[in-house]
Structure 1
Amino acid sequence: MDFIFALRERGVPEENLTKMEEDKIDCDVARLLNEEELSKYIPRYGDRVFAKNWMPAKRRKMKLPAAQNQKKKYGFGNRNAETKTRKIELGWMNYQDSSYKQVRRPKGGGTREIVVQKEDTMSSVLNVGKSLFFPNGESAKGNADHFTFMLCGSGSEDPLKEDQTIGSLYEATHFRILRLYVCTRLKDQESDEIDTILTLKKPRHASTPDDGPCTSGCNDQNRSQTLQSPPLMHVSSIDVLQSSEEVVCLGNDVDTSFDMVSDTLVDSPVHVDFVVDETTTDVVPFNSDPDVFPGNSIHESTNAEETVPEDTMSVPSQAVDSQEPESFFENPRNVTESETVVIRRVHCVNDMIQAFSDKNILHANVTFKRVLENGEEEAGIGDGVLQDCVTEFWHIFYATRTCGTTFKIPTLHHTYQEREWQAVARIFVLGWLRFGYLPIQLAPPFLKEALSLPSETSLMEAYFSYISQAEKDVLSEALQDFQNADMDEVLSVLSSHSCTVLPKEKNLQKILEEIAHKEMVQQPAYIIKCWRPILQSVGENMTAERLEQITNDLQPKARNVAKNLKFPLSMPPSETTVSNHLLRFIRERDQKELGLFLRYCTGSDLFLSKTIHVTFKEMSEFTRRPIAHTCTQQLELASDCSTYAEFRAEFCSVLNSGVWVMDIL
């Protein structure tokens, strides 16, 4: 019997082979047995794998020769193998307020995927774009005859040559999918006309009256209101050209007023935003000091002087282009309202998923209130609570919705559908834009795919940080010295990752690269699809190299944390001793413990380059412990602690307790 003979050649004990013949265990039956049943006949794991993949000689002869059975390589020996078409993405950008802005889908724009011939020229693609965005010559922006058209590439306002072909453009850019934009502009629109227009941005939602600006960055709970509240804005009886999304006020000698009570207003680099109230005729101008760095996208307004031009009546009405409000990414300083999200500490992930399932939440000035395990509201409020909630969310998310060790990959779950995954992406965006927080434990290949960033580096380095250290050691030894590797361990590791190919010295590297791509890119493809539309603008302002630099800078390092401590200028000897204890304590911590220290002091377990102000206070031996104020990044220490061992024990006790209650407003 060929099957028994093959096993005998591999050294399977004779008594086991005799028992297989008695029980009529042939190759077909062996494939139907599970591991436990087959191990009774074949004790060694490698022999069991061989038995399940063994094929009789007759069947092997029926297979085609290897040279005939191989598929022809793509593009060689077959004129029809090379495709003559390519897929491109086509969008619409309209000129408004001195720049081109993308028209969103509700206004007839959006991004369309079309298939074109490689020989098609830019002029033919432009005609296709006209028919898509101006069906029958009409669109939400007006008639096609009133506009000039040109075709531009992504990130450029320079028109493409009309005779340039799609194929040549692909060869020049090497993009995986080419994105082009149909750029339109009113024929009678001049660049200097835009500067004379004062626009009134209508807020998506209204806010409740506020007694005054919040100087600490925290919002009082009385200011909160649901996102679906009706607007409270009124427009006076002046010459107004109103569209569905914004109101443009035109007038010669018209005095306009702001109502700084109903809404918190923020200026824009292009628009002069104000609210019109028909009860007064005074102009209440304002100014702000915006900061474009992520983490400071919402600012309060202060009063300043503004002059309204007197020649705005001469601007033609069609020069004003009605447009859907810009997205949160394009203009994070839109007029916003306060939105308070209540998070139960024991249900942090579920409550945040529920809150961020609302598509409009990124347009609100979100503050967080937390409910403790005993049902009482936490007294703390402000950015410190927000950072701690986001940090807590990602910690629980890593533990419950990802796989991996050093690097994590989100995994599919039947309770997480498109709505839930998009909510996670909005939490990602909020953390980055509000205070520069990134979930750096997510594997770089996954992050780059979600952010639509090119990735030219090998997956193997990231994959070895994704699997366990024991699996990494086994596979590394096999790659270095396959002949002396423990094959039982190698086969066990590969089987746990659903590998069905018998590894050999020549194909092991390729097998591992395929498994890495499957587990880090292919399996989370649905999650990437849900995240990409929301993370698109974050990725557009970032490169792969910049992402690697950011993730490296955000990792807590003892030297960086120590440099960001700020002590009082003059300290008595006892406080100097305590400050030295603190510096020594930080230098002895590993990365995980440094993350706990940063979270205790700032609300975030990542190094966000925030200065921690250290102060000292007289405390008794009974009440002596470190006290942190996350909103102001202040650390309060006892002014007297004689030994470093006592200081370390007290600080570690606080950090490891995990019971941190923000009870100071």
Structure 2
Amino acid sequence: MLFQMSEPDLYDFMRSRNIKDDIIRTLIEEKIDSQTIIHMSEEELTKFVPLYGDRKAIIAFSRDRKDTSCEKKKKTKTSLMKKLRAKVNAIKGGASYSSGDEDEDEKEVRSSLSKKLKGNKNAEKKKRLVDLSCFHNDGDAYHQIRGNKGGGPKSFDMEKFDTMGQVLDLAKQLYFPNGHNAVRGKITEYKIKLTDTYFQNIDLQSTVESCYNRLKMRQLRFNFCTEGTTSTIESDELPPLSIPKNRNATAQSGVIEVMEIIDLPPTCLSKPEKSNDIFVTNDFYNAELPDIQTNFDIADFSFDGDIAFGPNVRASNVSLDSTLPLESGSGDTLDRPLEFGNAGTVERKIIRIHRASALMDMIIHFKDPNIMTVDIDAIMVLDNGKEEAGEGDGVFRDCITQFWDEFYEQCTEGRIFKVPVLRHDFQKEEWKAVSRIIRKGFEVSGYWPISIMPAIFEECIHGSIESSLIELFSDYLPEMESQIVKKAISNFNDVDQDDFIEFLDSHSCRKLVNSENVLPIIGELAHKELIQQPRYVIECFRSELRQLQVTPGKLQQIYQEMKPTSKEILKSLSVPENMKEAERLCAGFLKRYIKDLDGEKQKAFLRFCTGSDVLLGMKITVEFFESKGFTRSPIAHTCGRVLQIPSTYDTYPSFRSEFNYLLNSKVWVMDIV
């Protein structure tokens, strides 16, 4: 009878269907309740309930009872979690803090906690966190100063009743210790002010707490702004400077680096210190260099700062006597002032990269954190040990591209978007070096590895994921698995169950998938493959890449604008306005050829012309020359982004055949300086 009272609803339901009391009594004696009925087969239940309709009704009633019970438990658990979450948030953010999406239970907890903390002076925060960013005003606009240029972000705690003047004093000590910055010089050369994030001046008499209450920000952010010149060189102290392209000039004492020197007095030269791959020019106007000829002329130097990709056999009637045109900002003109004396030394690092082992060569060089503060000259080395003749920005872009080609092959998995995989020979130092390569490539050349999964960079830089993981997961999977996933999401009943089960098994799925839960389970698998597995790599990347301060919108823009397409490549071409008939015909062949290129060929074409396999917003200047026979072949100069096309092609198939052969070979030796 006690058992009967534990299940009154079930037996009342059976009586409402006029089921015989003998059947109900038998179920009670056998201790068969609603929980037991759920796990019984219909054949077993037939022994006790002979009528088909009664059996179905009893089974449905038992299942509904179970669902109702689970829902009550879940609701109770959820309510407790909400109360706990509200209490934690209240403690973290203060009793007055509200997330905006609280229900009645959370509001009740917050209200209760607010009353407890009211008047409790010990519960009040005594300090506020202050974030600073460094900017310089050149007269036209504010420009952010990065850490390696003497600026960078700063964070520190201030007492609530400290004045903003005290904040400014501390900021001066952080950016100009003892009144001097190793990169930017003395603080007396600048006008200093403190502004808000909209560059509005801050009242230095106001307190930190008053700013906190006025701005309504959970974390105070201000800008440390400087105005005035950043150079310590007076304009009348030295004659104008320009750059010859020779890497070295020979003197009796050894090898010196001629960087930005022409027609300088002898006291402005110094003998460099040389160590393996590093050439340093320091103490620029105090050192003495014996027996240096000071009346040299720029004509004494023979150079062409452009790099040619093309066959080793040159056409005899092609003249390269004059330097190819370069766009401003390419790195071949002096676009920043030299700093002398206490302002620091001009330092360049020469790195030698073997084409056969670019991956490990680059990682070895970038293990040194100091490489982020020097300018880099790259030299490519052939398999036979000989150095290629090219130099300039195009070589560094080629090094970066060669590195990522090998990295994608040896260190990642994925079809369109790739995810780094852990290797036993890649520890923290190696992954840190990779992050420095990403940062240096972006700062110097604007290069970003757009084949790496964007969600990895979002998690790394911003700590959250803006992109759709399921869509990215589809681009990561092999083509066949991608089609299976898309079909399972769109119409679960139409997917081949054997193929889908094999896919789930290959990704270690531990849940039973049906049409109702297929989408969240695919999302869980995507998060595991794309975020959880490369988590160690993400943490190693974080410190370097966050210094780039790339916003989520900017990151999305990078992926869109750098992706090679035939349309964008055609926009980047700059062809002569006045062309001969033969040149006009070959220009048409070139445009038609670009339209025919697929994804990989588009990357190869860009790399052939610019040294980079992504779009960097550079113009490609097209020139024509006459060449016939075996020597006929397109030639590219990567520093100047110049593409030279023979004007002797008669048909499009012959043009396409020779250009395809050139791109497919991927053996482009920099043999012209």
Q: TM-score, normalised by structure 1?
A: 0.61
Percent identical pairs in the alignment equals 29
Amino acid aligned to 1:543: T
Which of the residues 453, 461, 464 maps onto 1:443? 453
What are the equivalent positions in structure 2 for 1:504-583 lying under 5 Å apart?
A: 504-539=514-549, 542-583=550-591
What are the equivalent positions in structure 2 for 1:277-356 lying under 5 Å apart?
A: 277=286, 299-300=333-334, 336-356=346-366
Which of the residues 225, 242, 247 maps onto 1:220? 247
Match of 2:482 in 1: 472
Structure 2 unaligned residues grouped into runs of 5+? 1-37, 42-68, 95-126, 181-191, 235-239, 251-255, 257-264, 273-281, 289-326
Using the alignment, how far apart are the partners of 1:606 and 1:103 within structure 2? Answer: 25
Match of 1:617 in 2: 625
Q: Against the structure 1 CA distance between its residues 467 and 74, is the aligned structure 2 distance closer, same or farther, given a 3 Å change threshold?
A: farther
Which of the residues 485, 488, 491 maps onto 2:495? 485
Amino acid aligned to 1:502: L
Is the 8 Å Cα contact of residues 129 and 182 (structure 1) preserved in structure 2? no
Is the 8 Å Cα contact of residues 628 and 636 (structure 1) preserved in structure 2? yes
Question: Given the alignment of the two structures, is residue 663 of structure 1 paired with residue 671 of structure 2, yes or no?
Answer: yes
What are the equivalent positions in structure 2 for 1:486-501 lying under 5 Å apart?
A: 486-501=496-511
Match of 2:415 in 1: 405
Q: Which has the higher helix share?
A: 2
Match of 2:384 in 1: 374
Q: Against the structure 1 CA distance between its residues 76 and 295, is the aligned structure 2 distance closer, same or farther, given a 3 Å change threshold?
A: farther
Match of 1:146 in 2: none
TM superposition shift of 1:627: 1.7
Match of 2:597 in 1: 589
What are the equivalent positions in structure 2 for 1:637-652 lying under 5 Å apart?
A: 637-652=645-660
Q: Against the structure 1 CA distance between its residues 443 and 154, is the aligned structure 2 distance closer, same or farther, given a 3 Å change threshold?
A: farther
Per-residue CA deviation, residues 422-461 of structure 1 (Å, 9 max, x unaligned), is 2112211222222221111122221223333764443222
Amino acid aligned to 1:621: G
Is the 8 Å Cα contact of residues 348 and 375 (structure 2) preserved in structure 1? yes
Match of 2:21 in 1: none
Is the 8 Å Cα contact of residues 294 and 436 (structure 1) preserved in structure 2? no
Amino acid aligned to 1:452: H
Q: Against the structure 1 CA distance between its residues 430 and 441, is the aligned structure 2 distance closer, same or farther, given a 3 Å change threshold?
A: same
Q: Against the structure 1 CA distance between its residues 263 and 401, is the aligned structure 2 distance closer, same or farther, given a 3 Å change threshold?
A: farther
Is the 8 Å Cα contact of residues 135 and 224 (structure 2) preserved in structure 1? yes
Match of 1:416 in 2: 426
Higher radius of gyration, 1 or 2: 2
Using the alignment, how far apart are the partners of 1:653 and 1:545 within structure 2? Answer: 39
Q: Against the structure 1 CA distance between its residues 510 and 150, is the aligned structure 2 distance closer, same or farther, given a 3 Å change threshold?
A: farther
Using the alignment, how far apart are the partners of 1:490 and 1:455 within structure 2? Answer: 27
Q: Against the structure 1 CA distance between its residues 417 and 624, is the aligned structure 2 distance closer, same or farther, given a 3 Å change threshold?
A: same
Using the alignment, how far apart are the partners of 2:147 and 2:581 within structure 1? Answer: 64
TM superposition shift of 1:613: 2.4
Is the 8 Å Cα contact of residues 295 and 433 (structure 1) preserved in structure 2? no
Please give the secondary structure, in 2, of the residue aligned with 1:492. Answer: helix
Match of 1:204 in 2: none
Please give the secondary structure, in 2, of the residue aligned with 1:434. Answer: helix
Q: TM-score, normalised by structure 2?
A: 0.60
Using the alignment, how far apart are the partners of 1:130 and 1:558 within structure 2? Answer: 55
Using the alignment, how far apart are the partners of 1:446 and 1:303 within structure 2? Answer: 37
Match of 2:44 in 1: none
TM superposition shift of 1:493: 1.8
TM superposition shift of 1:93: 7.2
Using the alignment, how far apart are the partners of 1:373 and 1:181 within structure 2? Answer: 53
Please give the secondary structure, in 2, of the residue aligned with 1:370. Answer: strand
Using the alignment, how far apart are the partners of 2:592 and 2:172 within structure 1? Answer: 64
What are the equivalent positions in structure 2 for 1:86-235 lying under 5 Å apart?
A: 162=207, 164=209, 178=219, 180=221, 199=232, 213-214=242-243, 220-221=247-248
TM superposition shift of 1:259: 6.1
Using the alignment, how far apart are the partners of 1:222 and 1:531 within structure 2? Answer: 40
Is the 8 Å Cα contact of residues 338 and 365 (structure 1) preserved in structure 2? yes
Q: Against the structure 1 CA distance between its residues 517 and 637, is the aligned structure 2 distance closer, same or farther, given a 3 Å change threshold?
A: same
Aligned-pair Cα RMSD in Å: 5.3
Is the 8 Å Cα contact of residues 271 and 287 (structure 2) preserved in structure 1? no
Q: Against the structure 1 CA distance between its residues 472 and 167, is the aligned structure 2 distance closer, same or farther, given a 3 Å change threshold?
A: farther
Aligned residues: 498
Using the alignment, how far apart are the partners of 1:530 and 1:76 within structure 2? Answer: 34
Q: Against the structure 1 CA distance between its residues 157 and 296, is the aligned structure 2 distance closer, same or farther, given a 3 Å change threshold?
A: farther
Is the 8 Å Cα contact of residues 453 and 544 (structure 1) preserved in structure 2? no
Using the alignment, how far apart are the partners of 1:95 and 1:545 within structure 2? Answer: 22
Please give the secondary structure, in 2, of the residue aligned with 1:571. Answer: coil
Please give the secondary structure, in 2, of the residue aligned with 1:73. Answer: helix
Please give the secondary structure, in 1, of the residue aligned with 2:462. Answer: coil
Per-residue CA deviation, residues 4-37 of structure 1 (Å, 9 max, x unaligned), is xx9999xxxxxxxxxxxxxxxxxxxxxxxxxxxx
Q: Against the structure 1 CA distance between its residues 88 and 449, is the aligned structure 2 distance closer, same or farther, given a 3 Å change threshold?
A: farther
Is the 8 Å Cα contact of residues 258 and 274 (structure 1) preserved in structure 2? no
TM superposition shift of 1:89: 6.2
TM superposition shift of 1:384: 1.5
Q: Against the structure 1 CA distance between its residues 484 and 612, is the aligned structure 2 distance closer, same or farther, given a 3 Å change threshold?
A: closer
TM superposition shift of 1:464: 1.9
TM superposition shift of 1:80: 5.7
Using the alignment, how far apart are the partners of 2:447 and 2:391 within structure 1? Answer: 19
Q: Against the structure 1 CA distance between its residues 154 and 400, is the aligned structure 2 distance closer, same or farther, given a 3 Å change threshold?
A: farther
Amino acid aligned to 1:488: D
Using the alignment, how far apart are the partners of 1:614 and 1:353 within structure 2? Answer: 35
Which of the residues 495, 502, 515 maps onto 2:512? 502
Is the 8 Å Cα contact of residues 624 and 645 (structure 2) preserved in structure 1? yes
Q: Against the structure 1 CA distance between its residues 155 and 440, is the aligned structure 2 distance closer, same or farther, given a 3 Å change threshold?
A: farther
Q: Against the structure 1 CA distance between its residues 370 and 511, is the aligned structure 2 distance closer, same or farther, given a 3 Å change threshold?
A: same
TM superposition shift of 1:589: 0.7
TM superposition shift of 1:616: 2.6
Please give the secondary structure, in 2, of the residue aligned with 1:367. Answer: strand
